[in-house]
Chains A and B, each alone.
Chain A
């Protein structure tokens, strides 16, 4: 895996989808455009296209997920693929079998694509560097590293709401950036799409070291951080991080970084509010904001299906054409 870009084939097409970093603007735009065409289909009465008929896709989830797994499953089914869901949580009796063994066993069943979520950063890269040549790997979240389909559905949502020119946008990402694979992918995607300004807003304990090297401006005050922005992305705060050494309490976090209608007034007049879900109401944001007119949170979920259809079909296309 050294040096080579695993994700892109010799013709510059998407082979695996592992992280935003390593891709280029053209590919991101292609994903968004392809998703746009699928968005039309998912709004029709008959929601299926036969693009992946006869293909087998395995959702291999080593970490619990509802939303991501469901939308991947729906996306695969709407592409007419056969879908197998495998949930392997840490607690189950799989200890002893290595990730590679799991992979090899499933490969023996002639799987065409793996959608993988894993607790360890780099897990999707690891799988992609060990799968058979005809198999694609789609990263559905690895540790704190990357969650590229989430980032792309967010870009899709922003593009639909704000138009194609990211250059004039200011985007603020608020919350636990340190532990967030979603934030890392969003930051890379926003920068690749030439977003005017990317900000992160969080207390020091939730900001990774050298965060500025990711290409963001760091704020520790919510009002200043969202002032005049066009997009606010709130991150989920894991329950176990609310008490202890990272944050003193849920209460103080909400006071300082929770998004309320009042604080939202500091943002741009037509700013949209996003959240990758699931929301902790009353912690990251008020219900008033979550369900309010600026919120595009449910659209994000809907767009997730089209974006995942796009990524899956593109990765498979590179395979099929490559075979010829």
Chain B
């Protein structure tokens, strides 16, 4: 039997892997059949299926391609950092088949033209699906509503003001109402910019010792409370992006319990790092919102475990080396996260935070639900977006195996466990690990 040809839709049999599809509660060693870019069957071959190629997944996990809610692709506008081509290629090698890009590109995603440009570039690169969030306000100015109906028609899966401030509560209320009119999910970054006061580190012991301008916990919790009140009033479907404190995770869980239609995600670095990691001014740990306390880190893990946080994302923010080369406050915030999304997530299984199927659910099915996408599942008829990884394979993260253009990661030198061996996107092989 022939091996799979890269980039072409074939009839493929993936055999003897541990197939985990949380959406359909599947977790067993079996075969997966792919034809015409879609999942053809699970278990036994559909009638008349003749495989053109096979993948031996013995010892590996076969799951839906990962869906990353937060990926900065840097295109358009900051191509010196990364491009859609470079980052979708990195995503493919990391088992990620769908990326969601925030509207704070340059120009901002506030017109159908920019949505179209990103889609065309992604289609041309052909390595992963890129979906976009439209701007909640024009040019993200926080004052004028964007043409949300047009953005939706152009394909935006939701709207967001990214990390730009919405100073006026009345404008925010109206923006939420307008989004709700068109059944758009609003993606909210809870940060009170006045309280954040241009800080660059969590207001805690480390920032006090290092004299770094600090962002208090209340910059997030006050924003969550404020937003929850408006979300409840308006009745809009909302998603909280990048929670960093245990308290805000509890507030969102409480609101959800009360019937408010909210979900939340956490970015993987916040589950491993804390304020202590910036103690020698390590600019690779400069992120916004800031790394919080060790207690917050544990509480975020609990929230992930008990379901108050629904999805894990990479919060991928690739930078050129110069962006991180300077005194801590003067460097640009963000971590390059595509390469480490899966292996760091798998550590949560090792550390007994989540069972493997529950973890995969938070990397596939849940983000698909949040984005309103018919992906993140291996059910028959679904797009054949498949990630195959060897959960036992260990490797060391270094500059040589970082696939993203951004090498800005504090996890360099960490031993990773779990390596993607194959990625299929729409039934085409877009990544195969060199043996």
Binds A, one of B304-312, B321-329, B386-394: B321-329
Q: CA separation between A21 and B210, bound complex, in Å?
A: 10
Cross-chain contact of B325 among A98, A123, A184 (Cβ < 8 A): A98
- The answer to whether B208 touches A120 (Cβ under 8 A) is no
Is A100 among interface residues, defined by CB-CB distance under 8 A? Answer: yes
- Report which of A2, A144, A214 forms a contact with B282, defined as CB distance below 8 A: A2
Residues from 125 to 142 in A contacting B, C-beta threshold 8 Å = 125-126, 142
Min C-beta distance of A237 to chain B, whole Å: 17
Report the minimum CB–CB distance from B76 to chain A (whole Å): 23
B205 in contact with A99 (CB, 8 Å): no
Residues of A contacting B326 with CB < 8 Å?
Answer: 98-100, 120, 126
Docked CA distance A83–B280 (Å)? 30
How many chain A residues sit at the interface, stated as a range, is 20 to 34
* CB–CB B327/A99 < 8 A: yes
- Check if B325 sits within 8 Å of A144, measured CB to CB: no
Among A98, A142, A181, A209, point to the contact of B203 (Cβ < 8 A): A209
In the complex, which residues of chain B have a beta carbon less than 8 angstroms from the beta carbon of A121?
A: 210-213, 281, 327-329
Residues of B within 8 A of A1 (CB): 280-282
Contact partner of B281 (CB less than 8 A), chosen from A21, A122, A184, A209, is A122
Q: Is B352 an interface residue (CB 8 A)?
A: no
Query: Is B261 among interface residues, defined by CB-CB distance under 8 A?
Result: no
A126 adjacent to B208 (CB under 8 Å) = no
Known: A98-B322, A209-B216. A126 touches B327 (CB 8 A): yes
Instruction: Kindly state the separation between the CA atoms of A324 and B231 in the bound complex, as whole angstroms.
Output: 70
A74-113 interface bits toward B, Cβ cutoff 8 Å, 1 = contact, 0 = none: 0000000000000000000000001110000000000000
B207 interface residue (CB < 8 Å to A): yes
Instruction: Tell me if A211 counts as interface (CB < 8 A to partner B).
Output: yes
CB pair B329 A122 closer than 8 Å: yes
Q: Contact: A213 with B208, CB < 8 Å?
A: yes
The residues of B that contact A211 with a CB separation of less than 8 Å are: 208
Closest to B212 in A: A121
Known: A126-B327, A213-B205. A143 touches B281 (CB 8 A): no
Q: How far is the CA of A211 from the CA of B212 in the complex (A)?
A: 14
Residues of A within 8 A of B325 (CB): 98, 100
CA distance A123 to B283 in the complex (A): 11
- Interface-centre pick from B213, B282, B329 (highest chain A CB count, 10 A): B329
Query: Whole-angstrom distance between the alpha carbons of A99 and B281 in the complex?
Result: 16
Q: Kindly list chain A residues whose C-beta atoms are within 8 Å of the C-beta of B328.
A: 120-122, 126
Q: A3-B280, A209-B214 are in contact. Are A123 and B327 (CB under 8 A)?
A: yes
Residue contact A145 to B210, C-beta cutoff 8 Å: yes
Q: Which A residues from 152 to 175 make CB contacts under 8 A with B?
A: none
Q: What chain B residues lie within 8 Å of A98 (beta carbons)?
A: 322, 325-326
What residue of chain A has the Cβ atom nearest to residue B197's Cβ?
A245
Interface residues of B in 259-315 (CB under 8 A from A): 280-282
B209 part of interface (Cβ distance < 8 Å): yes
Interface centre among A1, A143, A214 (most CB of B within 10 A): A143
Report how far A1 CA is from B410 CA in the complex, Å.
13
- CB proximity of B324 to chain A, nearest CB, Å: 11
Contact between chains at B205 and A210 (CB < 8 Å): yes
Q: Which of A2, A3, A184 contacts B211 (CB 8 A)?
A: A184
Which listed residue, A142, A143, A209, touches B208 by the CB 8 Å rule?
A: A209
Measured between beta carbons, the chain B residues less than 8 angstroms from A145 are 210-212
Inter-chain contact B209/A213, CB cutoff 8 Å: yes
Residues of A within 8 Å of B208, CB to CB, are: 208-211, 213-214
The distance in angstroms between the C-alpha atoms of A122 and B281, with both chains bound, is 6
Shortest CB–CB separation between residue A15 and chain B, in angstroms? Answer: 15
Q: Kindly list chain B residues whose C-beta atoms are within 8 Å of the C-beta of A210.
A: 204-205, 208
Cβ-defined partner of B327 (8 Å) among A2, A118, A184 = A118
Taking CB atoms, residues of chain B closer than 8 Å to A99 are 326-327, 330
Closest B residue to A146 by CB, please name it.
B211
- Pick the contact of B209: A2, A21, A143 (CB < 8 A): A21
Report Cα–Cα, A211/B205, bound state, in Å.
8
Question: Which residue of A is nearest B322, CB measured?
Answer: A98
What chain B residues lie within 8 Å of A214 (beta carbons)?
208-209
CA distance A77 to B322 in the complex (A): 36
- Of chain A, the residue at the smallest CB distance from B330 is A120
Complexed CA–CA distance, A21 and B213 (Å): 19
When C-beta atoms are compared, the residue in chain B nearest to A181 turns out to be B211
A120 to B281, CA, bound (A): 11
A21–B208 Cα gap in the complex (Å)?
Answer: 13
What's the least CB distance linking B245 to chain A, in Å? Answer: 14
Chain A residues near B322 (CB-CB < 8 A): 98
Is B207 touching A143 in the complex (CB atoms < 8 A)?
Answer: no
* Least CB separation from A121: chain B residue: B211
Which chain A residues border B209 with CB–CB below 8 Å? 21, 184, 213-214
Give the complex CA separation of A8 and B203 in angstroms.
Answer: 29
Query: Could you tell me the distance in whole angstroms from the C-beta of A125 to the nearest C-beta in chain B?
Result: 5
Rounded to whole angstroms, the CA-CA distance of A120 and B280 in the bound complex is 14
Q: Please, which residues of chain B bring their CB within 8 A of the CB of A126?
A: 281, 326-328
A299 to B281 Cα, complex, angstroms: 34
Assembly CA distance A57 to B340 (angstroms) = 44
CB distance from A212 to the nearest CB of B (A): 10
* A18-62 residues at the B interface, CB under 8 angstroms: 21
CB-CB under 8 A from A209, the residues of chain B are 203-205, 207-208, 214, 216
A185: nearest chain-B partner, CB-CB: B211
Residue of B nearest to A208 (CB): B208
- Considering the chains assembled together, what is the distance between the CA atoms of A21 and B209 in angstroms? 9
Which residue of chain B has the shortest Cβ distance to A213 in the bound complex? B205
Task: Mark out the residues of chain B between 208 and 234 whose CB falls within 8 Å of any chain A CB in the assembled complex.
Answer: 208-214, 216
Bound form: Cα–Cα A209–B218 in Å: 13
Closest 7 CB pairs of A and B: A144-B211, A145-B211, A120-B327, A122-B281, A123-B327, A122-B328, A208-B208
- A sample of 27 cross-chain residue pairs with beta-carbon separation below 8 angstroms, ordered by A number, consists of A1-B282, A21-B209, A98-B322, A99-B326, A100-B326, A118-B327, A120-B326, A120-B327, A120-B330, A121-B212, A122-B210, A122-B327, A125-B280, A126-B281, A126-B326, A126-B327, A126-B328, A143-B327, A144-B213, A146-B211, A209-B205, A209-B208, A209-B214, A210-B208, A213-B208, A213-B209, A214-B208
Q: Contacts A99-B326, A144-B212 known; list 19 others, CB within 8 Å.
A: A1-B281, A98-B322, A99-B327, A99-B330, A100-B326, A120-B326, A120-B327, A120-B329, A121-B213, A122-B212, A123-B327, A125-B327, A126-B281, A142-B327, A143-B212, A143-B213, A210-B205, A213-B205, A213-B209
- The residues of A with any CB-CB pair to B shorter than 8 Å are 1-3, 21, 98-100, 118, 120-123, 125-126, 142-146, 181, 184, 208-211, 213-214
